[in-house]
Amino acid sequence: MQSSRIVHNRYFSRNPFFIVLYVTSRCNAYCKMCYNWKNIANAGNRIELSLNEIGKIASHIQSVQQLTISGGEPFLREDLAEICTLFCKKSNVQFITIPTNGLLTDCIERILKKALTDNPYVHFRIGLSMPEVDDELDELLGVKNAYKKHRETFEMFRALKKIYKNLNVDIGIVCNKYNIDRVRYIVDRVVSEKEECNPIVSMVRGKPRFKEAKDIPIDELDYIYTYCKERIPKINNRPFADFMNQMTDMVHNITIKTVKEKKMILPCKCGIKLIVIYDNGDVYPCELLDENLGNLRDHDYDIHKVLNLNTSRIITKKIRDSKCYCTWECALNNNIIFSYKYVFELFLRYISYKTGWFRLSPKTGQYDKL
Ligand code: SF4
Ligand code: SF4
C-alpha cells in the first residue's frame, strides 16, 4: 500500500512530492549556525498562517509523500497536532518529519502524543537536533541547560516509541565550524547512547547567523562522511529504512562531489516537486534561493495557482537552465527520487546491501565503478 502510494506520487501526481512547511518563525534557541535567523529575528512582525488557513492550503493538495514541518521551533505552535491532522486527512500525506531543538519536553510530549494518536497510519519522524553534546550544546544553542533538557526529551521519546509504532527518532548533527573537530565524537556518543536512532550528519546551509559557521574544510567533511559510513549501524527504525539509509550515503557522496567540483551533479526539481511554504504564506522553490513565487493568501490558498504563475515558471526554468546547485539534503533526497540514473543506483545499492551479491566500490561508493 505504501509502495503504491509512492509510485503514484512519483509518477502520476501533479502535486508536489515533498513540502517543507514552516509553521512559525518563533524560536527559543539562538543557534550560531541557524540559517533562518533573519525570519526568527523578525518573528514578531510576521503573521503566521492560522489553522484555518493551513486547512485551506491542505485542501488544494490531494496527495503528498513527505511533509517536513519546520520553524523556528515547530512545537511552539500549540495547534501543531491539528496541523498534522489536516495534512493527513486532506492531503493524504504519507510521512511527516518534524525537526526540533528538544528544549520543551512537556510541550513536545503533549503535542506529539495527540498527533500520533489522531494519525495512526501516518509515519512520524522526529529529527532531534543535537549538533553538540554536554556543555558545548548549551554554548552552540545559546541556551543554559540545553543538554540536560535534551536528555529529558530523549528519554520521553524513548518511552513514546514503546507505545506508538508510527514514531521514530533520528538525531540531527549539523556540521559547522564550531563542532567540526568533534563530529566524530558526537556520532560515537549517539551510536552508543541512543542506539535506536540514526545520527543524520549534514552540512550547515544557507547564510548562517554567524557567517564563519560555514568555514568547514571539505577534506574533513569527506573524512566525517566516510567515518559515518563505517561506524553508524544501518538501523531499520522506519518504513523503507534500508532504502533511506542507502540514500543518505548517496547524498553524502553527492554533497562532497558538489562542493569539490562546484557544479550541479543532478538536476534540481525544486519549485516543481519540492516546495517551501513559509509561516506567512510565502512560497519559495527552496530554502536557499531568494525567489518568492507568490503568497498563498493572494491566491485562494491554492498552491497550484502559485506554481502556475508565469513568474513561477520563469523561476523554475531558471533553476533548470542555470544548472543550479547546492548541498541542501532535502533537495538532494528529492532529486535522487526524480532522477532515473540515481534511482537505478539506489536500487543497486539496496540489492547490494540486502544480498551482498556484488560490492559497491568502497572508494567512490558508485555503482559504475564496480
Ligand atoms: S537552528 Fe533551529 S533551533 Fe536553532 S535557532 Fe534556528 S530554528 Fe531555532
Ligand atoms: S539547487 Fe539548491 S539552491 Fe538551487 S534550486 Fe535546488 S535547492 Fe535551491
pLDDT values of the chain reduced to their tens digit, one per residue, 370 residues = 467 777 777 767 778 999 999 999 999 999 999 999 999 999 999 999 999 999 999 999 999 999 999 999 999 999 999 999 999 999 999 999 999 999 999 999 999 999 999 999 999 999 999 999 999 999 999 999 999 999 999 999 999 999 999 999 999 999 999 999 999 999 999 999 988 888 999 999 999 999 999 999 989 999 999 998 888 887 777 788 888 888 999 999 999 999 999 999 999 999 999 999 999 999 999 999 999 999 999 999 999 999 999 999 999 999 999 999 999 999 999 999 999 999 999 999 988 888 877 666 555 555 444 3
* Ligand 1, pocket-test mutation among 36, 108, 175, 278, most atoms within 8 A of CB: 36
CB 275 within 8 A of CB 20: yes
Report whether residue 172 contacts ligand 1, using a CB cutoff of 6 Å: no
Pairs from 249-253 (Cβ < 8 Å, separation ≥ 24) = 249/349, 249/365, 250/336, 250/342, 250/345, 250/346, 250/349, 250/365, 251/329, 251/332, 251/333, 251/336, 252/201, 252/225, 252/228, 253/225, 253/364, 253/365, 253/366
Fold of 2-369: TIM Barrel (3.20.20)
Task: Name, in order, each residue with C-beta under 8 angstroms of 201's C-beta and a sequence gap of 6 or more.
Answer: 173, 175, 183, 187, 224, 225, 228, 252
Ligand 2 centroid – CA 218 distance (Å): 20
pLDDT of residue 369: 43
pLDDT of residue 368: 44
Q: Both ends of the chain: CA-CA distance in Å?
A: 34
Ligand 1 centroid – CA 230 distance (Å): 29
Q: Of the ligands numbered here, which is closest to the C-alpha atom of 209?
A: 1
User: Looking at ligand 2, which atom is closest to the CA of residue 268?
Assistant: 6
Ligand 1, atom 1: closest residue by C-alpha: 34
Report whether residue 254 contacts ligand 2, using a CB cutoff of 6 Å: no
pLDDT of residue 364: 53
CB 29 within 8 A of CB 72: no
Report whether residue 102 contacts ligand 1, using a CB cutoff of 6 Å: no
Ligand 2 centroid – CA 138 distance (Å): 31
CA distance 301 to 283: 11
Ligand 2 centroid – CA 269 distance (Å): 8
- Grid coordinates representing 349? 545499492
Element (H, E) at 98: strand 95-100
Report whether residue 275 contacts ligand 2, using a CB cutoff of 6 Å: no
Report whether residue 101 contacts ligand 1, using a CB cutoff of 6 Å: yes
Residue-range domain boundaries for the chain: 2-369
Q: Of the ligands numbered here, which is closest to the C-alpha atom of 338?
A: 2
* Ligand 1, pocket-test mutation among 73, 98, 140, 202, most atoms within 8 A of CB: 73
Report whether residue 146 contacts ligand 2, using a CB cutoff of 6 Å: no
CB 121 within 8 A of CB 166: yes
Query: What's the count of helices (H) and strands (E) in the chain, helices before strands?
Result: 14, 9
* Ligand 1, pocket-test mutation among 34, 46, 137, most atoms within 8 A of CB: 34
Ligand 1, atom 7: closest residue by C-alpha: 72
User: Looking at ligand 1, which atom is closest to the CA of residue 174?
Assistant: 1
pLDDT of residue 25: 98
Ligand 2, atom 8: closest residue by C-alpha: 286
Report whether residue 315 contacts ligand 2, using a CB cutoff of 6 Å: no
